[in-house]
């Protein structure tokens, strides 16, 4: 039985202490200068539950670049817009490849394996670009409403950096377009995609904004239906098999929660019927996942008995 989070504040503090030096085992993403300059020893953690509680520790109120965690929000928006026809343009299978692999995209004739690898998220960006008159504003509005915070913004320095270093993503997008699986102009698709990635949020904001996935699609704060119960289920399933890049299997094996990481060092885990955990620590392991973040989520999941595989 999952434990209540009342009084686990002390536990979170203790957990952070155990990770004191572990950030040294990873390396901050350095493919763009804007990410490379983030201080490596920052770390934060938030746990929000569907009954309205929240506890946090460390730098949980400091914003960071959410990067690939944004893929969840984009995916939900696209599912809402396109319904089941979305799944003719992107699959929901684990990739068994690095997140930015172009090889599999060629084999599968421009159909991305799932919406949380880069190719899939670019496909989703195409859907949003095509279905919204202003997809970037729609994306920001969606997140702001979920987090209940209108101050959430795009980090323009990160955005510009991403644009300058976006050649591989451009290659993925053009390859999909050559298979007629991208409708919009590529620069527009990339611009949306990098905007998504460059949103800055805190652990607390992320945990609060994703509670609907733990609550069958309903935001427990506003009682609004964000997506259908079926789609909340589907997103959790995709995150379980594919959310942690090419370490997804190991994360399921050792932790056992639907989760998504970003190269900004963020990591969120959904606990169905319970709540959301969000951690942040910039240094990444070889797979692109936060070293300390994985330890923290593992620690809490074990402490509170949260795994879905028990």
Q: Which residues are at the interface with a copy of itself (CB under 8 A)?
A: 91-97, 101-104, 106-107, 113-114, 167-168, 170-175, 177-178, 186, 216, 229, 232-234, 236-238, 240-242, 246-250, 252-254, 256, 258, 272-273, 307-310
Angstrom distance (rounded) from CA 99 to CA 116: 8
Catalytic residues: 68, 71, 193, 245, 263
Distance in Å, CB of 196 to a copy of itself, minimum: 19
| In contact, 251 and 104? CB cutoff 8 Å | no
CA 241, 80, 243 angle in degrees (round to 5)?
15
Angstrom distance (rounded) from CA 76 to CA 211: 13
Distance in Å, CB of 194 to a copy of itself, minimum: 14
Angstrom distance (rounded) from CA 193 to CA 126: 9
Q: Minimal CA–CA distance to 264: which of 21, 43, 16? A: 43
Q: Minimal CA–CA distance to 245: which of 47, 110, 96? A: 96
From first CA to last CA, the distance across the chain in angstroms is 10
Distance in Å, CB of 277 to a copy of itself, minimum: 16
Residue position matching structure tokens 């990591």: 267
Distance in Å, CB of 76 to a copy of itself, minimum: 14
Nearer to a copy of itself, 111 or 154 (CB): 111
Distance in Å, CB of 85 to a copy of itself, minimum: 15
Q: Minimal CA–CA distance to 271: which of 307, 229, 220? A: 307
């Amino acid at each position: 039985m999952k434990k209540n989070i009342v009084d686990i504040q002390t536990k979170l503090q203790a957990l952070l202490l155990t990770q004191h030096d572990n950030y040294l085992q990873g390396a901050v993403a350095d493919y763009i200068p804007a990410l490379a300059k983030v201080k490596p020893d920052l770390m934060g953690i938030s746990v929000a539950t569907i009954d309205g509680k929240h506890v946090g520790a460390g730098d949980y109120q400091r914003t960071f670049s959410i990067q690939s965690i944004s893929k969840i929000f984009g995916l939900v928006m696209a599912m809402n817009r396109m319904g089941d026809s979305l799944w003719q343009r992107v699959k929901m299978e684990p990739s068994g490849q690095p997140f930015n692999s172009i090889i599999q995209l060629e084999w599968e004739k421009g159909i991305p394996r799932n919406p949380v690898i880069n190719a899939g998220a670019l496909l989703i960006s195409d859907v949003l670009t095509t279905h919204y008159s202003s997809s970037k504003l729609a994306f920001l509005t969606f997140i702001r409403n979920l987090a209940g915070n209108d101050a959430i913004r795009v980090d323009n320095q990160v955005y510009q950096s991403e644009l300058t270093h976006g050649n591989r993503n451009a290659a993925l997008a053009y390859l999909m377009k050559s298979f007629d699986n991208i409708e919009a102009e590529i620069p527009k698709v990339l611009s949306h995609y990098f905007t998504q990635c460059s949103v800055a949020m805190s652990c607390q904001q992320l945990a609060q904004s994703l509670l609907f996935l733990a609550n069958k699609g309903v935001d427990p704060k506003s009682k609004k239906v964000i997506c259908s119960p079926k789609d909340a289920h589907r997103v959790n399933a995709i995150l379980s098999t594919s959310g942690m890049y090419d370490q997804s299997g190991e994360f399921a094996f050792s932790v056992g929660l639907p989760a998504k990481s970003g190269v900004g060092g963020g990591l969120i885990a959904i606990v169905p019927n319970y709540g959301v955990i969000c951690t942040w620590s910039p240094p990444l392991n070889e797979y692109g996942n936060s070293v300390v973040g994985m330890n923290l989520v593992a620690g809490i999941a074990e402490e509170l008995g949260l795994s879905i595989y028990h």
